[in-house]
C-alpha cells in the first residue's frame, strides 16, 4: 500500500474515533496530541489485515484526560470501580482499592487453561463488535491500555513525541508513525528495510521478556530473526530479577496472552518471600 493511501486511511479512522468522543475538552486534546504507530502501519505497508490501531499521546495531560473519560464510560456501563492513577511520571488504571492488576474490568477466577483461552478469545471478539450507536466504546481495560471496539487500542503506559515512545519499542519495523497535529506520515528507512526483508531487527527495549515472547507471533507470520538479535534480548533479560512479581508484571506489559494474567494472579496469592524460580516454573508449567 502506498504512503498516500495509508495517510488517508489513518486520517479517516482517526476522525471517526474523535467524532465518537462527546466531551469537547477531551476531543480537543486528542485531536492535537495523538500519535498512531506500531503494527498497523507495518501491516498496511505489507498489504496485510490491520488487527488494531495503537494510539499514543504526546503529553501526560492528554493521557490523564482520555483515561478518565473512558474509565468513566466503563464504570458507568459495568459498575466495576476503578480510577486513573497519575504519579507525575506514569499514568495507569487501578481498581478503587488501589490494586494495579492485570485487568481493571471483570477479574474472574479462571479454573483451567481452556477457560483462560476462551475468555481471552471472547474479549478479542467482543472488541470488534459494533452497535450502530455505540462505536468506539470501551470493552476491556488493563493497567496500561484501553481497548475500544472498532479496533482501537489506547496506550497510556507511554507518552511523548514519537522518538520517546519508540524508546519502548523492540523491533524497528514498527517505528513508522502518523501525527494528528499535522496529519503527517513518517516512514523511516530502517523500518522500511526491515519490512522489505521481513527481518526482525531488535533495537533494545525496556521490556525484553515481552519481546522474546512476541517472536512466536512474528515467526508464524513468516518473519526471520538471526541469533545475534535474539542474543541482544537475552542479554537484557539476564539483568532482570524475574522472581520479583512486580518486575515480572512490568515485563509482561503488552503481552497479549490471558495465560499471563492467570500467572500473575497466582503470584499475588503467594507470599512474596516464597516466590523463586522453582515456583515460577511450577506455575508456568501448570498454565501452558
**Domain ranges (residues) in the chain:** 1-196, 198-288
Distance (Å, whole) CA 157 – CA 165: 10
Question: Is-contact 18 30, C-beta < 8 A?
Answer: yes
What's phi and psi for 266, nearest 5 deg?
-65, -40
Cell numbers placing 189: 528507512
Per residue in 198-249, pLDDT tens?
999 999 888 898 889 889 889 999 999 999 999 999 999 999 998 887 787 7
pLDDT band at 127 (very low <50, low <70, confident <90, very high): low
The average pLDDT across 188-197 equals 96
Per residue in 74-109, pLDDT tens?
999 888 889 999 888 889 888 754 444 434 443 333
- In this model, does residue 63 exceed pLDDT 70? yes
pLDDT at 136: 94
Point out the least confidently predicted range of 30-44, 118-132, 165-179, 248-262.
118-132
Query: What 8-state DSSP symbol labels residue 109?
Result: P
Q: In terms of Cα–Cα distance, which of 64, 24, 126 is closest to 137?
A: 126
185-195 burial by CB neighbour count: b if 16+ within 10 A, else e?
beeeeebeebb
Distance (Å, whole) CA 16 – CA 246: 37
Point out the least confidently predicted range of 61-75, 167-181, 207-221.
207-221
- In this model, does residue 131 exceed pLDDT 70? no
Query: What 8-state DSSP symbol labels residue 154?
Result: E
Helix axes 258-268, 277-287, angle to 10 degrees: 140
Residue with cell 486528542: 30
- In this model, does residue 257 exceed pLDDT 50? no
pLDDT at 94: 86
Question: What angle (nearest 5°) sits at the alpha carbon of residue 268, between those of residues 266 and 274?
Answer: 90
Amino acid at each position: 500500500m502506498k504512503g498516500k493511501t495509508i495517510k488517508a486511511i489513518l486520517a479517516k479512522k482517526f476522525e471517526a474515533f474523535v467524532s465518537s468522543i462527546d466531551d469537547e475538552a477531551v476531543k480537543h486534546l486528542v485531536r492535537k496530541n495523538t500519535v498512531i504507530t506500531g503494527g498497523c502501519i507495518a501491516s498496511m505497508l505489507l498489504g496485510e489485515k490491520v488487527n488494531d490501531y495503537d494510539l499514543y499521546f504526546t503529553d501526560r495531560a492528554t493521557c490523564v484526560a482520555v483515561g478518565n473519560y473512558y474509565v468513566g464510560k466503563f464504570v458507568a456501563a459495568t459498575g466495576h470501580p476503578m480510577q486513573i492513577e497519575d504519579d507525575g511520571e506514569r499514568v495507569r488504571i487501578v481498581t478503587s482499592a488501589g490494586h494495579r492488576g492485570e485487568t481493571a474490568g471483570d477479574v474472574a477466577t479462571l479454573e483451567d487453561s481452556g477457560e483462560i483461552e476462551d475468555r481471552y478469545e471472547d474479549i478479542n471478539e467482543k472488541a470488534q463488535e459494533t452497535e450502530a450507536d455505540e462505536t468506539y466504546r470501551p470493552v476491556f481495560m488493563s493497567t496500561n491500555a484501553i481497548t475500544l471496539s472498532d479496533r482501537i487500542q489506547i496506550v497510556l503506559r507511554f507518552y511523548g513525541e514519537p522518538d520517546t515512545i519508540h524508546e519502548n519499542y523492540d523491533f524497528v519495523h514498527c517505528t513508522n508513525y502518523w501525527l494528528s497535529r499535522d496529519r503527517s506520515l513518517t516512514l523511516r528507512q530502517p523500518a522500511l528495510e526491515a519490512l522489505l526483508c521481513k527481518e526482525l531487527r531488535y533495537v533494545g527495549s525496556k521490556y525484553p521478556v515481552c519481546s522474546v515472547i512476541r517472536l512466536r507471533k512474528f515467526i508464524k507470520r513468516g518473519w526471520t530473526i538471526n541469533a545475534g538479535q535474539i542474543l541482544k534480548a537475552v542479554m537484557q533479560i539476564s539483568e532482570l530479577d524475574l522472581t520479583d512479581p512486580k518486575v515480572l508484571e512490568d515485563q509482561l506489559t503488552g503481552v497479549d496472552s490471558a495465560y499471563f494474567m492467570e500467572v500473575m494472579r497466582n503470584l499475588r496469592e503467594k507470599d512474596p518471600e516464597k516466590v523463586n524460580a522453582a515456583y515460577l516454573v511450577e506455575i508456568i508449567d501448570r498454565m501452558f
